Amino acid sequence: MTRNKNALVVVNGDDIHHDLLTASLVYQQLGIEAGLVTRRGMGMNRFVDARPETADADTYLLYTSGGLFPTAQQEALAAAVRGGKGLVGIHGANILGWQGDGLDPADRPMFELLGNRYLSHGPGHHEGRHTIEIVGDHPITEGIDDFELFDEYYEFELADDDVQVLARRHRADGAEIPVMYARQVGDGAPPETRGTRSIAAFVVDAGTPGLEIAERLDVMAPHPLARLVFHGCLVPAAQCLAESGHGFKLAMRTLDVFRTSVAAAALGFARRALAEGLQRARTRPMFGQMLAELQLTQAKLAEMALTVDAAALLTYRAAWRRDQGHTVTREAAMAKLAATEGAQRVIDAALQLWGGAGVQSGQVVERLYRDIRALRIYEGASEVQQLIIARELLKA
């Protein structure tokens, strides 16, 4: 016999303008109408060492109007959701603490769990009639058409691209403001929708039993690439770098470092290619004079030098800002894109200056021509860097 799904309405707050009892009764009725065995509970100090009425719930309906939500309780709720519990943040769940101009670190677990936070009631008078447009394909909005609403509105900040906008409001100035969101995380999300949301990160030592190199990949230039397999590897908990749900974010932050280092490698290739091109231009006779004396050659050399120096400055900027403790997602993407694409052009130009000799095996420019190609792909292809740069610009 299959048991009925359970829900728990959790209310919390100290705002005298909110009738928590009535709110809890309303949402309990909604849970019952949805076919859930629904109970009510008061206060957030229930997720650490959860009692049966909390532990047995399959879904939490969270209604808050102020009050405290301790960090440990936030983390316990987040762990429960990653483990398969459902969560609906109905009112005020995303009104999180501030510290200076940013999010209070104590409230980060809830911000990352919900995927958004309250910013303000918006500019000017925030009450009025609003047209609400249903967008996106999601079970929550199935069967609901666009509608008009006379009420107040909030403005929010989304945590990342994993947050799916379900409904948005059309403002008088033409802006489209999201008003309803959904995020699927952890074991509670269908396997096909989990994506990066359940990824953790570990350090696996090279000598760990079960770690094997299944295949070494031979590519057009000597880059150490391989396919790894893990057969029952036992990894100590102390070697966990990021828990489930945070591993992908750590990987993306790590790419900011690697992309800068790839840019530096490409810069080195380009500088060597420029040196080879200069040497060839100065010593190769052409039409009764040296190749370097031709204006076409001089224009090509000038473009090569310009490309090298521009890439160098972008690479140095990304590295310096990273050393200062800044997030360098945009700067690293710019550096990698400019340095790798620029190096390809500089190396091609140097090979052209070498003529037929440049394509002979063993020549420096021939080797550089093969070596640079992979750098435009790994750590994110050039097209990916363009998307990252545009996304970061649009965030600003």
Q: What is the predicted pLDDT for the residue at 173?
A: 66
Asked whether residue 117 carries a pLDDT value surpassing 90, the answer given is no
Q: For 337-368, how does the pLDDT look when each residue is reduced to its tens digit (9 = 90+)? A: 999 999 999 999 999 999 999 999 999 999 99
Percent of residues, the chain, with pLDDT higher than 70:
82
Model confidence at 245: pLDDT above 80: no
Provide mean pLDDT across the span 289-301: 94
Domains and CATH numbers, the chain: 6-193 (3.40.50.880), 199-239 (no CATH), 247-395 (1.20.140.10)
CA distances from 208 to 200, 202, 213, 229 (A): 18, 12, 12, 12
Examine the pLDDT at 160 and tell me if it is beyond 70. Answer: no
Backbone angles phi and psi of 86, in degrees to 5: -95, 155
pLDDT reading at 140 higher than 70: no
Which pLDDT value is given to residue 290? 92
Instruction: Identify the residue with better confidence: 93 or 54.
Output: 54
Residue 259 has pLDDT above 60, yes or no: yes
Backbone phi, psi, residue 167, to 5° = -150, 150
pLDDT at site 189: 52
User: Could you tell me the two tokens for 22?
Assistant: 């009535």
| Per-residue burial over 294-320, b = 16 or more CB atoms within 10 Å of its CB, e = otherwise | eeebeebbeebbebbeebbebbebbbe
Q: Would strands 102-103 and 98-99 be described as parallel, antiparallel, or unpaired?
A: antiparallel
pTM as predicted? 0.54
Q: What percent of the chain has pLDDT over 90?
A: 29
Amino acid letter at 190? P
pLDDT in tens, 185-229: 655 455 444 455 557 788 888 888 888 888 888 888 777 888 888
Higher per-residue pLDDT: 4 or 70: 70
Greater model confidence, 238 or 179: 238
Q: Does 150 have pLDDT greater than 70?
A: no
pLDDT attached to residue 207 = 85
Element (H, E) at 172: none
Active site residues: 379
Question: Which of 101-110, 133-142, 152-161 has the weakest average pLDDT?
Answer: 152-161
Comparing 287 with 172, the larger pLDDT belongs to 287
pLDDT tens sequence across 261-281: 999 999 999 999 999 999 999
Calculate helix-pair angle for 247-283, 364-375, nearest 10 degrees.
Answer: 160
